[in-house]
Amino acid sequence: MRRYPGREALVCPQKGLRYTYKEWERQVNKLANAMLTAGIAKGDRVSTYLCNTAELPTALLAASKIGAVFNPVNYHLSPAELAFILNDSESKLLVFENKVKDRVIRALPLIKTVKLYLYIDEDVPEFAIPFDRFLDYAGDSCPPVQVAENDWCSIIYTSGTTGKPKGVIHHHRNILQHSLCMIESQKLTCADRGLSVAPLYHSAEMHCFFLPRLHIGAANVLLHHFDQAAFGEILTGERITVMFGDPPTWRRILQSMPAEAFKDLRLLAYGGAAMPAEIYERLSNTLGVKFIQYYGMTEMGPAVTVSYPGEHPEKAGSVGRPLPGHEIRVAKLCFNMPADPEDTVPPDGCGEVLVRGPGMMQGYYNHPEVSAWAFYGGWYHTGDLGRLDEDGYLWIVDRVDDVIVPGVDNIYPREIELVLQEHPEVAEAAVLGIPVEGDHQVAITAFVVSKNNSLTAQSLESFLKESDKIAHYKHPQSYRFVPELPKTATGKVMKYLLRKYK
């Protein structure tokens, strides 16, 4: 903020808000001082339940200035899920907005720790304080609090692809070192203008894109929530040069966006799922946009590997090689104990992906046993199955928890999903093993999203037989057609929710 005080720092076009770095720092300091006056002290938790609004990163920076611990909550969560995270993290302050107001009201009887509610819109509920009024009498000088690099910066709850979320603890140093990797890999400069379409409550958007742009002095533009018309106007009107978007979002965007809308976009980042070939071809060859892909998880900051522009065609399907300062091993799989980091598989052998690097979390909040398993041998155990090729590129095969064991041979759902997605009428597919009632076996079950609702189980089974790409024993015994696949903010399918479909 001190290097470029007059440069544009934060823009919310839908609210008509524009801050220079100097103006934004004053707002951050006012919130920090107001929190101190209200009794929020170093080490206390400060939570947000917001879409992409200026108040969310302002709360993060203000909390950091007084040594409080930032806890961004997924704004899609239910009242019970919100209350669980607030209570588990022992949050004392919650900032929220109109979009989620009714859910906060329903959660109030369940919330035990929050003492102060700040509301950013005009229809303020009686139990909350207007955000702007809270800042009215606060000073705008830097608060006199000493914060060290190894103090806790944030507790971010996992997206819960396997069930109950856990709080991931990061120090300030973790996040800053992660930012340096992102700045280098994206070749960011203060001239860049980044657009946050993906939610800022998730570490992918916040740590891989928003904060690195902040640290280099670039401009950050926020889209409150995804709206195709607003997105098109902002992309062109704000001359966006870099952004992150998951593949399903880009599929929707490309259906209606004219080519000229992408004239300023120099770099598109993605992760969470593979980029379909047709999207890559149109954006890269027709529109001239360069791609960068990251693989990682909240526990690692989140990015661990990178696939740079130019590497995609040759290594299509890979998630790239380790970022600077990061290491990867593929260890022999264990189902009832952590994999041994010293018991690695040869190149192209399949096993559990183990990683370590400067962005690695300090542990799961209040979960010492789970943390000990996750860090066994000094490496983070990702739960992903993968292989490293001879060039050092990582290929993700599946999740350890998703491996189907119907008999002697393991079945990896991902290979079945990839073949199903080649069917011209399949929009998306997810495969998992469903226990057979009254039996000890599991049935290979495919959950399919159809493009035009004309698909049948018979047509898909015929397609698999004709493709001849997977053995017959890997064919699904059951096909279930669903309107959509439940996903995390970064596009990862939450398979545990699919098990609830009847």
Write the pLDDT tens digit of every residue in 59-78: 999 999 999 999 999 999 89
Asked if the model's pLDDT at residue 409 lies above 70, the reply is: no
Whole-angstrom distance, CA of residue 124 vs CA of residue 98: 9
Asked if the model's pLDDT at residue 501 lies above 70, the reply is: no
Largest CA distance in the chain: 72
Among the candidates 122, 147, 172, a domain finishes at: 147
Indicate whether 412 and 396 sit together in one domain: no
The reported pLDDT for the residue numbered 146 is 96
Indicate whether 238 and 357 sit together in one domain: yes
In this prediction the pTM is: 0.86
Indicate whether 394 and 430 sit together in one domain: no
Instruction: List b or e across 423-436, with b for residues whose CB sees 16 or more CB atoms inside 10 angstroms.
Output: beebbbbbbbbbee
The reported pLDDT for the residue numbered 353 is 97
3-class DSSP state of 303: strand
Indicate whether 363 and 441 sit together in one domain: no
CATH number, domain with residue 419: 3.30.300.30
Q: What is the mean pLDDT of the chain?
A: 91
Asked if the model's pLDDT at residue 440 lies above 60, the reply is: no
Name the pLDDT band for 406 (thresholds 50, 70, 90): low
In a domain, 133, yes or no: yes
Indicate whether 196 and 98 sit together in one domain: no
CATH number, domain with residue 287: 3.40.50.12780
The reported pLDDT for the residue numbered 342 is 97
- Averaged pLDDT, 341-348: 96
Name the pLDDT band for 246 (thresholds 50, 70, 90): confident
Name the DSSP class of 284: I
Indicate whether 381 and 449 sit together in one domain: no
Whole-angstrom distance, CA of residue 101 vs CA of residue 136: 23
The reported pLDDT for the residue numbered 89 is 97
Asked if the model's pLDDT at residue 332 lies above 90, the reply is: yes
The reported pLDDT for the residue numbered 201 is 96
Instruction: List b or e across 163-183, with b for residues whose CB sees 16 or more CB atoms inside 10 angstroms.
Output: eebbbbbbbbebbbbbbbbbb
Whole-angstrom distance, CA of residue 17 vs CA of residue 479: 49
Indicate whether 96 and 188 sit together in one domain: no
The reported pLDDT for the residue numbered 493 is 84
For the ranges 234-243, 288-297, 331-340, 448-457, the one whose mean pLDDT is highest: 234-243
Lowest mean per-residue pLDDT among 3-17, 300-314, 357-371: 300-314
* DSSP track, 44-71: -EEEEE-SS-THHHHHHHHHHHTT-EEE
Structure tokens at 372: 């000990």
Cβ neighbour number for residue 151 with a 10 Å cutoff: 16
Indicate whether 369 and 238 sit together in one domain: yes
Indicate whether 361 and 460 sit together in one domain: no
The reported pLDDT for the residue numbered 160 is 54
In a domain, 2, yes or no: no
| Beta bridge pairs of residue 169 | 155, 363
Mapping DSSP onto H, E and C, the string for 162-182 reads CCCCCEEEEEHHHHHHHHHHH
In a domain, 160, yes or no: no
Cβ neighbour number for residue 335 with a 10 Å cutoff: 9
The reported pLDDT for the residue numbered 249 is 74
- Domain residues for 270? 180-400
In a domain, 460, yes or no: yes
In a domain, 169, yes or no: no
> Of 337, 432, 442, 330, which is closest to residue 382 (Cα–Cα)?
330
In a domain, 157, yes or no: no
Asked if the model's pLDDT at residue 408 lies above 60, the reply is: no
Indicate whether 136 and 21 sit together in one domain: yes
In total, the chain counts a number of residues equal to: 502
In a domain, 170, yes or no: no
Whole-angstrom distance, CA of residue 42 vs CA of residue 19: 27
CATH number, domain with residue 131: 3.40.50.980
Residue-wise pLDDT for 7-50, tens only, equals 999 999 989 999 999 999 999 999 999 999 999 999 999 999 99
In a domain, 165, yes or no: no
Among the candidates 356, 372, 400, a domain finishes at: 400
Share of the chain above pLDDT 70, in %: 95
Element (H, E) at 221: strand 219-222
The reported pLDDT for the residue numbered 235 is 92
Tell me the torsion sign for CA atoms 125, 131, 133, 138.
Answer: positive
Element (H, E) at 183: helix 172-186
Name the pLDDT band for 309 (thresholds 50, 70, 90): confident
The reported pLDDT for the residue numbered 439 is 58
Whole-angstrom distance, CA of residue 190 vs CA of residue 196: 16
The total domain count for the chain is: 3
Indicate whether 185 and 270 sit together in one domain: yes
Residue-wise pLDDT for 138-149, tens only, equals 999 999 999 999
Residue-wise pLDDT for 471-497, tens only, equals 888 899 999 999 999 887 667 788 878
Asked if the model's pLDDT at residue 162 lies above 60, the reply is: no
Q: Is 67 in contact with 151 (CB distance < 8 Å)?
A: yes
The reported pLDDT for the residue numbered 490 is 67
Indicate whether 102 and 219 sit together in one domain: no
More confident of the two residues 31 and 443: 31
Among the candidates 356, 378, 400, a domain finishes at: 400
